[in-house]
């Protein structure tokens, strides 16, 4: 994997959609997780400050590697240039994104 390869990762996290950029993505050593390393943020010299990107920077400021559950990942793209990292509200009325269905065993009430 080349050092200049850049990936955009979009995933669900607590009713929000995170979009961020990283230099390295693997299937990870933990089964069911995507391993994301070398997270990249915008230039510090930019005049315009995006609050959602600043929130992402502070949340992941000391993170070397993060593990994202596979069922939370919406999309991973290899991109030519970096966009703005952001957090947006996941709204069921907007777009066509749907959570992966999770089976839970019904509770037996005849005890």
Report the run of H or E that residue 1 belongs to, with start and end: none
Quick check: 82 pLDDT over 60? yes
- How confident is the model at residue 94, as a pLDDT? 55
Average pLDDT, the chain: 79
Question: Predicted confidence band at 85 (pLDDT cuts at 50, 70, 90)?
Answer: confident
Q: How far apart are CA 12 and CA 14, in angstroms?
A: 7
Report the run of H or E that residue 58 belongs to, with start and end: helix 51-59
How many Cβ atoms from other residues are within 10 Å of residue 20's Cβ?
A: 26
Report the run of H or E that residue 75 belongs to, with start and end: strand 73-79
- How confident is the model at residue 93, as a pLDDT? 45
pLDDT digits (tens, 9 = 90+) for 14-58: 888 989 999 999 987 888 899 999 888 876 545 556 676 777 788
Quick check: 3 pLDDT over 80? no
| Residue indicated by tokens 């509200």 | 89
Whole-prediction pTM: 0.70
Quick check: 9 pLDDT over 90? yes
């Amino acid at each position: 994997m080349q050092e200049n390869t850049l990936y955009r990762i979009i995933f669900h996290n607590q009713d929000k959609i995170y979009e961020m950029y990283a230099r390295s993505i693997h299937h990870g050593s933990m089964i069911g997780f995507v391993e994301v390393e070398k997270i990249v943020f915008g230039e510090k010299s930019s005049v315009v400050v995006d609050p959602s990107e600043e929130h992402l920077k502070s949340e992941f400021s000391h993170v070397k590697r993060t593990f994202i559950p596979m069922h939370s990942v919406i999309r991973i793209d290899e991109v030519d240039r970096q966009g703005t990292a952001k957090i947006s509200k996941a709204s069921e009325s907007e777009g066509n994104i749907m959570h992966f269905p999770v089976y839970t065993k019904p509770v037996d009430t005849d005890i």
